[in-house]
Amino acid sequence: MDARVLVVEDDEAMRSLVLEDLAERGMVVRGCANLHDALSAMAADIYDVVVSDLNMPGGTGLELCQRVRERDPQLPVILFTAFGSLDAAIGAIRNGAYDFLTKPVELDQLALAVERAASLRALRSEVATLRAAVRQGRRGSRIEGTSAPMLRLRETITQLAGTQATVLVHGESGTGKELVARELHELGPRAAGPFVAENIAAIPPQLLESALFGHVKGAFTGASAKRDGLLLRAHGGTLLLDEVGELPLELQPKLLRVLEERRVRPVGSDQEVAFDVRLIAATHRDLAAAVDAGTFRRDLYYRLAVLELEVPPLRERGRDVLLLAQTFIDQFAKESGRPIRGLHPEAAARLLAWGWPGNVRELRNVIEHAVLVCRGTEVAPADLPDRLRALPAAPPPLRSADAEPELLPLDVIEKRHILGVLRALGGNKAQAARVLGVGRKTLYRKLELWGELAPGEAE
């Protein structure tokens, strides 16, 4: 069994014995001597089971149960102690412990308890994943696209949505990192709670501490009233810190401490307030390189990058460009009351040929411009910005200079092209007809002729 187990025991001999036994049974193990080290370990990695002594210096196993419950309510904790009593067992269960064993611990009994706890964790994770998939199927995904990178991204989001772990989302500017964060929130158990998003780069550095942690009345000039910070505003839900790589170096240790302790002290206050938030951080920067350069703390990087997601740039998403373009055309045509159905084939070719340095945000702006200036029922090349109008109507064929051209009948080329567009648009025939510049009846007639329609599907 390859369960990941964290063993928290201040007695070095006992800790080594348990670690060695569980490792021999095929488990991935890590040991800690106290509560502080255990919390740091859980901040840096994901575990299936926590095994802890009840009585330790610097914090008890009951305190560990409480902190685990705050971070990840689905993570099972097994406690053991030399002072076995009914009161201790009741206290452990009330604090969220999965099981309670007395010392001297029977290693076979402990291993069995760990295996059962890990199985429960796996089952809970599977149920959460299925729940997320059902939610996604009912309302549709915010993450549009049929390209392989986007299908992988959607699958990963569904898998991670049910966890409480911190996620670091990487991606170029304009790729849709906030959409990914919203998807993680809405598919997860915190969907009923608030989703709070803030761009670190948009907040003046001198106001960042107050923005994150809040402040009390009179904390500084202009603080005329108490104000909750982002962490408290997102209590019970999800907080997205976008462009987290722009966080000033002097503020990074404060954020790290707050995230590890799950308590925040507003500026000007002498009282700490507990909060319950799932944190998602996003950045277009290479934070690992920033760590090496000394501009980002290594310990904070590990705290944020428990789970990582990469959002692919639009240039790597193939014909998703056309799917997104049609989505934006439908949106802006409806908002402006214009009868625009889709793209002229030559305009579509220019969209496919462009490199999209501004990613989805740039495409959205291009389509909004095109819809506003379009005078027909299709977005034509003349409706596109100058930088796209200058592109060739179609990309050159990809073949070697001495290769013979493929000589095919026109109807075969037409069939290949139409079926290729359909695949790129996930089988959506209405959108395919708009992209191809033909009527739906014409498209259905051709598909029926080629045997590409299901029985009863023909119009």
Quickly state the pLDDT bin for 430 (edges 50, 70, 90): confident
Q: Is residue 134 part of a domain?
A: no
Mean pLDDT of 147-156: 86
Percentage of the chain modeled with pLDDT above 70: 86
Rg (C-alpha) for the chain, rounded Å, is 28
Quickly state the pLDDT bin for 424 (edges 50, 70, 90): low
- 153, 151, 170: which is closest to 161 by C-alpha? 153
How confident is the model at residue 39, as a pLDDT? Answer: 85
Q: Quote the CA–CA distance of 436 and 419 in Å, as a whole number.
A: 11
- Phi, psi (deg, nearest 5) at residue 229: -85, 180
Regarding whether 251 and 157 lie in a shared domain, the answer is: yes
Regarding whether 183 and 54 lie in a shared domain, the answer is: no
How confident is the model at residue 211, as a pLDDT? Answer: 92
Burial 221-237 (b: 16+ CB within 10 A, else e): eeeeeebbbbbbbbbeb
CATH assignment of the domain containing 96: 3.40.50.2300
End-to-end CA distance of the chain: 54
Mean pLDDT of 342-347: 84
- 73, 70, 72, 53: which is closest to 62 by C-alpha? 53
How confident is the model at residue 218, as a pLDDT? Answer: 76
pLDDT digits 0-9 by tens, 187-204? 888 999 999 999 999 999
One-letter amino acid at 123 equals L
Long-range contacts of 213-219 (CB under 8 A, 24+ apart): 213/254, 213/258, 213/264, 213/265, 213/266, 213/267, 214/264, 214/266, 214/267, 215/266, 215/267, 215/268, 215/269, 216/266, 216/267, 216/268, 216/269, 218/268, 219/266, 219/267, 219/268, 219/269
Contacts of 156 (CB under 8 A, 6+ apart): 309
- 420, 440, 444: which is closest to 319 by C-alpha? 420
Q: Quote the CA–CA distance of 22 and 3 in Å, as a whole number.
A: 10
CATH assignment of the domain containing 322: 1.10.8.60
Regarding whether 160 and 278 lie in a shared domain, the answer is: yes
Number of domains in the chain: 4
Quickly state the pLDDT bin for 1 (edges 50, 70, 90): low
Considering 312, 347, 364, which residue would you say is the last residue of a domain?
312
Regarding whether 354 and 301 lie in a shared domain, the answer is: no
Regarding whether 147 and 293 lie in a shared domain, the answer is: yes
- Report yes or no: 433 and 440 within 8 Å, Cβ to Cβ: yes
pLDDT digits 0-9 by tens, 281-337? 999 999 999 999 999 999 999 999 989 999 999 999 888 888 889 889 989 999 999
How confident is the model at residue 310, as a pLDDT? Answer: 93
Q: Please determine, for residue 400, whether its predicted confidence score (pLDDT) is greater than 60.
A: no
pTM greater than 0.85 (yes/no): no
Q: Is residue 156 part of a domain?
A: yes
Q: Please determine, for residue 123, whether its predicted confidence score (pLDDT) is greater than 80.
A: no
| 428 vs 226, more confident | 226
Distances (CA, A) of 166 to 48, 135, 304, 402: 16, 21, 6, 54
Q: What is the mean pLDDT of the chain?
A: 83
Q: Is residue 321 part of a domain?
A: yes
Q: Is residue 188 part of a domain?
A: yes
- Report yes or no: 9 and 15 within 8 Å, Cβ to Cβ: yes
How confident is the model at residue 120, as a pLDDT? Answer: 79
Q: Please determine, for residue 402, whether its predicted confidence score (pLDDT) is greater than 70.
A: no
Regarding whether 319 and 300 lie in a shared domain, the answer is: no
Q: Please determine, for residue 385, whether its predicted confidence score (pLDDT) is greater than 90.
A: yes
How confident is the model at residue 393, as a pLDDT? Answer: 53
- Report yes or no: 326 and 348 within 8 Å, Cβ to Cβ: no
- Report yes or no: 237 and 190 within 8 Å, Cβ to Cβ: yes
Mean pLDDT of 156-164: 86
Q: Please determine, for residue 409, whether its predicted confidence score (pLDDT) is greater than 80.
A: no
How confident is the model at residue 84, as a pLDDT? Answer: 57
Q: Is residue 138 part of a domain?
A: no
Mean pLDDT of 394-409: 46
pLDDT digits 0-9 by tens, 21-73? 999 988 999 999 988 888 888 877 788 899 998 888 888 888 888 888 777 77
Q: Quote the CA–CA distance of 334 and 367 in Å, as a whole number.
A: 13
| Cα torsion through 252, 39, 198, 194, rounded to 10 | -160
| 1 vs 227, more confident | 227
DSSP tag of 313 = P
Regarding whether 91 and 213 lie in a shared domain, the answer is: no
Mean pLDDT of 263-273: 89
How confident is the model at residue 397, as a pLDDT? Answer: 39
Q: Quote the CA–CA distance of 390 and 202 in Å, as a whole number.
A: 35
Considering 295, 312, 329, which residue would you say is the last residue of a domain?
312
Domain carrying residue 343? 313-396
- Report yes or no: 121 and 73 within 8 Å, Cβ to Cβ: no
Regarding whether 277 and 165 lie in a shared domain, the answer is: yes
How confident is the model at residue 8, as a pLDDT? Answer: 93
Q: Please determine, for residue 104, whether its predicted confidence score (pLDDT) is greater than 60.
A: yes
- Report yes or no: 128 and 161 within 8 Å, Cβ to Cβ: yes
Distances (CA, A) of 68 to 259, 278, 391, 454: 13, 13, 56, 52
Regarding whether 374 and 280 lie in a shared domain, the answer is: no
How confident is the model at residue 146, as a pLDDT? Answer: 78
How confident is the model at residue 138, as a pLDDT? Answer: 47
The position carrying tokens 């009345």 is 217
Considering 265, 297, 312, which residue would you say is the last residue of a domain?
312
Regarding whether 261 and 147 lie in a shared domain, the answer is: yes
How confident is the model at residue 90, as a pLDDT? Answer: 67
pLDDT digits 0-9 by tens, 72-98? 777 889 988 766 555 666 666 766 788
- Within 337-428, where are the H helices? 345-353, 359-373, 386-389, 410-424
- Report yes or no: 459 and 444 within 8 Å, Cβ to Cβ: yes
Regarding whether 271 and 374 lie in a shared domain, the answer is: no
Regarding whether 172 and 57 lie in a shared domain, the answer is: no
Q: Please determine, for residue 136, whether its predicted confidence score (pLDDT) is greater than 70.
A: no
